[in-house]
Amino acid sequence: MRKTLWIVSMLIVASLVLAACGGAPASTGVEPVTVVETVIVEVPGETIITQPQGYGTILARVKERGKLVCGGRTDLLGFGYLDDNGNNVGFDTDLCRAVAAAVLGDPTAVEFVPLTAADRGPALQTGEVDLLSRNVTWNSKRDAEWGNFTVTMFYDGQTFIVGSDSGINTLKDMDGATVCVTTGTTTEKNLASAFADAGLTYEAVTFEDTASVYSAYDEGRCDVATSDASQLAAIRVGLQDPAAHKLLGFTISKEYLTPAVPAGDDQWFDLVKTVMWSLITAEEFGITSANVEEMKSSQNGDVRALLGVEGDWGYTQLGVDASALANAITAVGNYGEIYNRYFGADGVFVLDRGPNNLGINGGWLVAPAIK
């Protein structure tokens, strides 16, 4: 803010030169002259924040619509599938429900849009979905072209599934093999690079639909199938004879699976990131879906801030209620609860957490302070 300060200086100007040093001015009858000088002084004022174009667009649309549109899948055990009652469930599915609970206060207020691997990028680019949570690998090219990737929620790597009695244990053992793979994916590119770098050949059997990849493999139409280790572990459970197949003990890539949002709306980007961070942070603090209300009176100020009972963790700027993160945790649980629901001892299959442990427990999952 700029204010103009007028300083009026009354200067008596003598029209005659002093007759001598230190002498009095001679009288001439000339009237004194008033000189007005303008001085501009900078005074600090209120900072006005100008948001970029598009800021708040998606949140407003979701609230007006009354539901979150989430791109996902219905064919992969553990991550995104239909239960016996036809309900959408899974690790990726619960991440969508957490955002819906935070924004709308209702984890069921989600429209799930099944997407093929090839449809993921276009669905983000066109804004067909508000959120993409579908085993999507974060890499620089996708970040530049598809949208904004939020927080890595599952660390994985690409490997292979083969017959237990195939004699295949290394990449070299697959020289000349037929390999089933989903087209239009990083999986397909990683496969080509790994074999080329090793000087090996293979015959690709490609499908746009991931489910068809594993059907073909199970029917013996290819020697090997390749994908993320977690996905192959899920698929193995559903094969005709799971014991007849094994996952190889090495990976050829790093696959950081990350929910993504359309580009151009920083508020929505920040909001979804914060919801993901809250699930990780809740596990660090021992906050579960069952004890949220109790933990609101915790002696730990960071816990009280996360649950919206003290301070402002950013909810004012993000356009949601103070209880948004508490609602998300109540709806789906903390990160550990979600993981164990699908990959723990009582899940659809068991998958060691490995790098998906909290950073404080030797894993790679970390989140900034929420306060």
Give the confidence band of 7 by pLDDT, cuts at 50, 70, 90.
very low
pLDDT at 52: 61
Is the confidence at residue 225, as pLDDT, over 80? yes
Residue where a domain stops, chosen among 227, 253, 279: 253
pLDDT > 70 fraction of the chain, expressed in percent and rounded: 86
Residue 20: per-residue pLDDT: 38
Which residues lie closer than 8 Å to 274 by C-beta, 6 or more apart?
313, 314, 318, 325, 370
Region 258-282: mean pLDDT is 98
Q: For residue 50, tell me if it sits in a domain.
A: no
| pLDDT value of position 16 | 30
What's the number of domains the chain is made of? 3
What's the pLDDT score for residue 209? 85
47 within a domain of the structure (yes/no): no
Instruction: Specify the higher pLDDT residue, 89 or 4.
Output: 89
- Is 228 part of a structural domain of the chain? yes
Same domain, yes or no, for 195 and 105? Answer: no
Q: Which of 226, 253, 280 is the last residue of a domain?
A: 253
Domain assignment present for 353: no
Task: Report the DSSP beta bridge partners of residue 2.
Answer: 42
The per-residue pLDDT for 137 is 94
The answer as to whether 126 is a domain residue is yes
Lowest mean pLDDT segment, chosen from 203-212, 271-280, 289-298: 203-212
149/279 same-domain check: yes
Shared-domain flag, residues 38 and 87: no
Q: What is the pLDDT of residue 211?
A: 86
131 and 278 housed in the same domain = yes
CATH number, domain at 236? 3.40.190.10
C-beta pairs of 366-370 under 8 Å, 24+ apart in sequence: 366/280, 367/151, 367/276, 367/277, 367/278, 367/280, 367/281, 367/284, 368/277, 369/302, 370/274, 370/277, 370/278, 370/281, 370/302, 370/305, 370/306, 370/313, 370/314, 370/325
pLDDT of residue 90: 98
- What pLDDT does residue 53 have? 63
pLDDT surpassing 70 at residue 79: yes
Task: Give the lowest-confidence range in 51-55, 126-130, 149-153, 174-178.
Answer: 51-55
Kindly write down the DSSP assignment for every residue of 182-208, as one continuous string: ETTSHHHHHHHHHHHHHT--EEEEEES
Residue range 284-310: mean pLDDT, rounded? 98
Q: How confident is the model at residue 210 (pLDDT cuts 50, 70, 90)?
A: confident
Tell me the mean pLDDT in the region 189-204: 97
Per-residue pLDDT at 180 exceeds 70 = yes
Section 185-190 average pLDDT: 94
**Average confidence (pLDDT) over 187-196:** 97
Residue 346 has pLDDT above 90, yes or no: no
Query: Looking at the structure, do residues 243 and 266 belong to the same domain, yes or no?
Result: no
pLDDT for res 27? 43
pLDDT tens track for 12-29: 333 333 333 444 444 444
Q: Is residue 205 part of a domain?
A: yes
Task: Please indicate, yes or no, whether residues 13 and 135 belong to a single structural domain of this protein.
Answer: no
- 10, part of any domain: yes
Q: How confident is the model at residue 106 (pLDDT cuts 50, 70, 90)?
A: very high
**Together in a domain, 201 and 248:** yes
pLDDT at 46 over 70: no
The boundaries of the domain holding residue 35 are: 2-42
Q: In whole numbers, what is the pLDDT of the chain averaged over residues?
A: 89
Question: Has residue 336 got a pLDDT over 60?
Answer: yes
Same-domain pairing of 266 and 291: yes
Residue 131 clears pLDDT 70, i.e. is over it: yes
91 contacts 339 by C-beta, under 8 angstroms: yes
User: Phi-psi category of 194—alpha, beta or left, where left has phi over 0 and alpha has psi -120 to 50?
Assistant: alpha
Q: What per-residue confidence (pLDDT) applies to 45?
A: 53
| Residue 135 in this model has a pLDDT that exceeds 70 | yes
Q: Give the residue with greater pLDDT, 3 vs 210.
A: 210
Q: Which of 202, 234, 253 is the last residue of a domain?
A: 253
Q: In terms of domains, do 282 and 339 share one?
A: yes
pTM of the model: 0.83
Helix (H/G/I), strand (E/B), else coil: 257: strand
What is residue 123's predicted lDDT score, i.e. its pLDDT?
Answer: 97
DSSP helix/strand/coil, 153: coil
Residues 209, 242 share a domain: yes
- Is residue 165 domain-shared with residue 126, that is, in the same domain? no
Q: Is residue 362 part of a domain?
A: no
Distance CA 217, CA 32 (A): 104
Which is more confident, 12 or 319? 319
Q: Is the pLDDT of residue 35 over 70?
A: no
| Residues 125 and 263 grouped into a single domain | yes
pLDDT exceeds 90 at position 164: yes
Q: Give the C-alpha separation, 164 to 33, whole Å.
A: 106
Higher pLDDT, 238 or 288: 288
Query: What is the average per-residue pLDDT within 64-71?
Result: 98
Phi-psi region for residue 362, left (φ > 0), alpha (ψ -120 to 50) or beta? left
